[in-house]
Structure 1
Amino acid sequence: MAQEATRAYRPQPRPLYPAKAINTPSGTVGLPAQHDSRAEHDQTTPVDAMDEVTAAFVRRTLCARQLHANTITAGDKGAITPRPLDELLPPLTSSNAVDLELYAIIAIIIKDFVQSWYTRITSDHDFTDEVIQVIAHCTRGLEQRLREVNLEVLVLDEIPQILQSHMQAYYTSRDLQGNCLQGLEFREIYHTLRPHPALSPAPDPHRPGSSEEQQENEAVWRQLLVQGILTLLLPPEDLENPCLKVLVSEIFSELVLGSGVGGKACEGWTIWEGCTKLLGIVGKRDGQALASEPVPPQPLNRLEQFGLLSMRQAAPVNSLTSSNETWDAFARTFWQVMQHLSVVSTAIYAIITALLAATSLPPRTQPDRHSRSGRHAIQHSIADDRSESMPKTEADAAAPPNVRPILDMSLWSCSSRFLCLDFRMPWFSGFLALTRHSLLFGPGKVGGTNGSLDRLLAHIIHSRILNPAILPLLIRTFRTSLFPNYTLGPARVPPTPDEATEIRLRCADAIVRAMPAFVRSRFFATEDEGRMRDDAAAMLMVFDDSYLNKHFVFALVELVVTRLFPEMEERGVTELLAERQADLM
């Protein structure tokens, strides 16, 4: 049984996953074991108040039977302390911090979706424990598949490409909307540009039944997606259990994908709040915050600037010595120029030092063939075929094939499209394009594959963006946004249009505050804080329509699923189920 296999899998206490062998098209590859620093981090990091509340909720919901049986006695007075969660529940991943956040989401779903009706039938917890064991089996298999995915290409190239397509279709539909009389025509134009079977037809109040038909198509899409995932993740014996399979399928298709991903996550105000919280996680620079009070006037001369001359004494001196004012202005200009030169020289020195030190960084590995999008895969396969017939230099021969440089990924063009650089600052957009081309194909190919700049960017991205330590905080932010107060009920009333506008303005204000003062004053071409915020809020209107956001979110879901389960890109659910059943015979 899956339960016995899972219990045998869980060690006491739980270490990280050991090195495993996985089957790949090229043969059997051993997964490197994770470093012990993550386990030491889980054991030595103090648990904050939020984690204690979350752990208590998980124990109360999923470990009610073990609350009194599985305890340890602390001290001579017989104080009772509950056992850790990693000793009461099966491991979900190789990180205790991630497991805590995932178990909080599972506990919310079990409490409101299973225990709400199952406790009326019986007080037995075996069924709930079996569901937890099946979910743990699936999450461990999912983590093993996640290690085979090239997250670098997924995050920096494929996801920005989908976002760029969404913005391009949005602006095109908005430009064509001027010829339409009905506001709903905007949705139809967008759906024509980016059709999706789950979102067809576009809801139209003038066509009765169009909304219900679209919801039915969306429900069928969710069921097919979840059925295919469960067919590849569930253990063989659980595939033959229809009750368990239907229950897990309904939980993920209707509750997670339906109410969570396809519901709240597609609302514009949810995306704006998520961006605001994400900027808060990254951290705002206190020295770059917009000042809410007027700036006091600058002192008239250097004596007054350093407090050596009072205002009463400064007036007659300044009125009598106009030459000193000229000298002070010249001195201030001189020191400002010297300060700027010092900053520029320090920045150049830091860049050169970083590029020289980047040569000692490890080279980037070769990604899988399926990690590319279709358009980029065709382009680069043609480029690879052409490059085979061309003479190669020593640097080109040392570079691994099919590894795209980071400067050549879609992240940069997507950022330029979101910021509307072609419209705001066309000269700067052209300068950036020329600089990127020079770094990729110019002398030395500094930005080419495994060049100095390429290794440096890869190191920064993996240490700050793709850092596994950020994952628990991101999951917590996602959980608190969708399920506040540990409940699936109507914990929050959807905001009114005025409240949604305030949320968008707060997100715009967070974006403006995250930009350096020197950059934002030139990017927005104004010093007015209100105009900056309104201008940034206009850029966020690309996520205003929930129906349009579903096209973007569903495309992201399909991308992630096909990267984790490449079998679903080649075969349907019926074929996958037939193959699994044939393996059991």
Structure 2
Amino acid sequence: MTSTETAASLDHLVRQVLLPDSEPSKPVLELLPVPTSCSDAVNTQWYALAALICRHMVQSWYSRISDDPGFVTEMVEVLAKISRDVDTRLQTIDYETALLDGLPYLIDSHFEAVDRAKALQGSAFLPVNSLSEGLRVFRPHRAISGVPDDHSELVYQKLLAQQITTILLKRQKIDSKVAHAFISAILHDVVLTTLFERLSEPWMLYEIIIKVCDLLPDNSKTPEKNDNGGGRVVETLGYLVSNGVTIATETFYAARTYVRSGFDFYEKNSVDPTLADQQDEGDSDKEKENERKTRIAPKPVTSRYFFQLLVNISNIRAKKPLLASTLSYLSVFLEMQPLAVSIRNVVVNSMNKHVLREKTAELILRSARTTLFPNNGPMGAPRVLPTVLEQYDIRQNARDALSRVFPPFVGNVTTDIDLWLDHLSNKEVNKLLLYYLCDYLLQLAFPELSEKVE
């Protein structure tokens, strides 16, 4: 919550739009259905955003066909129901795989395709006039055909919104054409259109990079990067030792948890693939199957694609082949037990501490609201385009933020990060990346989207 925004102001906003006749002495969250399993702070942000969306949609859409005063109340109940369903779906996602494998792989693959398109653009192998045209050859997407005025992007977004709406309402057994049209309009007009049109701006992506890096540990607080090669080994060892303390600490807490929870807890969370698969005789077949799934060995963290992405960003193979070879050699030992368990605990706990927390959800909801509805007013036009100088400053800040993620023994990565950020300098190219990322995340939350229709 910003310094100028208080709980009382949000309460007033929600009450004014959704509960105009309510008793002022009662908190709004006691008068409305619970939208998520999160804290009151998150739910308040959720309702503040929902209130502004409802106000916008009713004024621009529903009021033209009806003046039913109970419509908003009915739609709020529908939104709360499907929000709880989405909340449940989000809790089932394997974030370890998504954040450390899926998303980094998609980003890196996209950047590799951009490099190929740049290298071949205008040649006999790729006779195109623009980078976005060339990229569509390597990474085509049904939403962007490249044919002028064919409306493929609009059609794709509307169909996607309708499919998601159908899945959500069917799950809640809500059979209402009005509710379907209302939710579908919100998903398309407010969410998808905004997502692809606004976030594809290079400076917007640079700002997102800054915000994401702010959630990660700051490695610039470790010993200063040394330009004198003689002290590099000592510096590297010092960094590893300092992080070894963290690993040891996490291992201690993990061991204590295992002792307190019994060996069964360790058995379910271990990376050892040879564990016995025995259950109590009273368990059902379904419970046995679920238990077997939990005992599948998780992929060692050090073999996740996220680290491959960091290697590619820092260009460490070209700059420091000996260091790259050493790290590759050490990774074999880091994937062995019991060290693999300790490292996984460190990474997963760090994700939970810095990224997968309720505060992140609160920040996302607030950012969405302030972006879509400046000063809680009418839905605003896209943010005023920063000047060339301002965009340059944003990019420099993104570069500096990424630099702080890398440990000091990697060396100066400023130039390499600049080259990496060049991949995000084209809006149409960025839009293609966003479509692939969106498709991946939606399939994680809505596996029904990938089912074939017979």
Q: Which protein has the larger Cα radius of gyration, Structure 1 or Structure 2? A: 1
Inter-CA distance 231–339: structure 2 relative to 1 (3 Å threshold): closer
Q: Distance in 2 between matches of 1:254 and 1:563?
A: 23
* Cα drift, residue 396 of structure 1: 3.8
Q: Which residue of 1 aligns with 2:15?
A: 59
* Alpha-carbon contact 2:399-2:417 (below 8 Å) kept: yes
* Cα drift, residue 352 of structure 1: 4.5
Deviations 1:73-120 (A, max 9, x none): xxxxxxxxxx32212322110122222222222222222232246557
Q: Which residue of 2 aligns with 1:567?
A: 448
- Identity among equivalent positions (%) equals 26
Report SS of the residue matched to 1:413. Answer: helix
2:345 pairs with 1:446: no
One of 421, 426, 431 as aligned partner of 1:540: 421
2:307 pairs with 1:412: yes
Q: Distance in 1 between matches of 2:236 and 2:97?
A: 37
Q: Which residue of 1 aligns with 2:319?
A: 424
* Alpha-carbon contact 2:49-2:365 (below 8 Å) kept: no
One of 264, 271, 275 as aligned partner of 1:398: 275
Q: Which residue of 1 aligns with 2:165?
A: 230
* Alpha-carbon contact 1:288-1:514 (below 8 Å) kept: no
Q: Distance in 2 between matches of 1:341 and 1:284?
A: 18
2:183 pairs with 1:248: yes
* Alpha-carbon contact 1:268-1:549 (below 8 Å) kept: yes
Q: Distance in 2 between matches of 1:405 and 1:113?
A: 47
Q: Which residue of 1 aligns with 2:27?
A: 84
2:71 pairs with 1:127: yes
Q: Which residue of 1 aligns with 2:384?
A: 493
2:99 pairs with 1:164: no
Please report the TM-score for the alignment, with normalisation by the length of structure 2: 0.79
Q: Which residue of 1 aligns with 2:203?
A: 269
Q: Which residue of 1 aligns with 2:398?
A: 507
One of 154, 162, 167 as aligned partner of 1:219: 154
Give the aligned CA root-mean-square deviation in angstroms.
3.8
Can you give the 5+ residue segments of structure 1 that lack an aligned partner in the other structure?
1-44, 73-82, 203-209, 291-332, 368-393, 525-531, 576-585
* Cα drift, residue 281 of structure 1: 5.0
* Alpha-carbon contact 1:289-1:514 (below 8 Å) kept: no
Structure 2 residue identity aligned to 1:165: S
One of 124, 136, 147 as aligned partner of 1:191: 136
State the aligned residue count. Answer: 419
Report SS of the residue matched to 1:198. Answer: coil
* Cα drift, residue 482 of structure 1: 4.7
Deviations 1:295-328 (A, max 9, x none): xxxxxxxxxxxxxxxxxxxxxxxxxxxxxxxxxx
One of 554, 569, 573 as aligned partner of 2:435: 554
Q: Distance in 2 between matches of 1:342 and 1:159?
A: 31
Inter-CA distance 182–110: structure 2 relative to 1 (3 Å threshold): farther
* Alpha-carbon contact 1:354-1:456 (below 8 Å) kept: yes
* Alpha-carbon contact 1:231-1:239 (below 8 Å) kept: no
Q: Distance in 2 between matches of 1:138 and 1:341?
A: 51
Structure 1 residue identity aligned to 2:319: R
Inter-CA distance 244–477: structure 2 relative to 1 (3 Å threshold): closer
* Cα drift, residue 125 of structure 1: 2.7
Report SS of the residue matched to 1:523. Answer: coil
One of 45, 54, 66 as aligned partner of 1:101: 45
Inter-CA distance 262–130: structure 2 relative to 1 (3 Å threshold): same
Inter-CA distance 233–459: structure 2 relative to 1 (3 Å threshold): same
Structure 2 residue identity aligned to 1:199: I
Q: Distance in 2 between matches of 1:431 and 1:192?
A: 37
Q: Distance in 2 between matches of 1:472 and 1:496?
A: 30
* Cα drift, residue 50 of structure 1: 4.2
Q: Which residue of 2 aligns with 1:473?
A: 363
Inter-CA distance 365–417: structure 2 relative to 1 (3 Å threshold): farther
Q: Distance in 2 between matches of 1:232 and 1:240?
A: 12
Structure 1 residue identity aligned to 2:32: L
Q: Distance in 2 between matches of 1:236 and 1:288?
A: 50
Structure 2 residue identity aligned to 1:179: S
Report SS of the residue matched to 2:30. Answer: helix
* Cα drift, residue 252 of structure 1: 0.8
* Alpha-carbon contact 1:365-1:403 (below 8 Å) kept: no
* Alpha-carbon contact 2:57-2:186 (below 8 Å) kept: yes
Q: Distance in 1 between matches of 2:431 and 2:185?
A: 20
One of 94, 101, 104 as aligned partner of 1:150: 94
Inter-CA distance 278–53: structure 2 relative to 1 (3 Å threshold): farther
Please report the TM-score for the alignment, with normalisation by the length of structure 1: 0.63
Q: Distance in 1 between matches of 2:257 and 2:188?
A: 43
Give the alignment of 1:288-299 within 5 angstroms: none
* Cα drift, residue 268 of structure 1: 1.2
Q: Distance in 2 between matches of 1:457 and 1:280?
A: 16
* Cα drift, residue 256 of structure 1: 0.9
175-184 or 269-278, which moves further after superposition?
A: 175-184
Q: Distance in 1 between matches of 2:434 and 2:236?
A: 44
Q: Which residue of 2 aligns with 1:464?
A: 354
474-483 or 280-289, which moves further after superposition?
A: 280-289
Q: Which residue of 2 aligns with 1:71?
A: 24
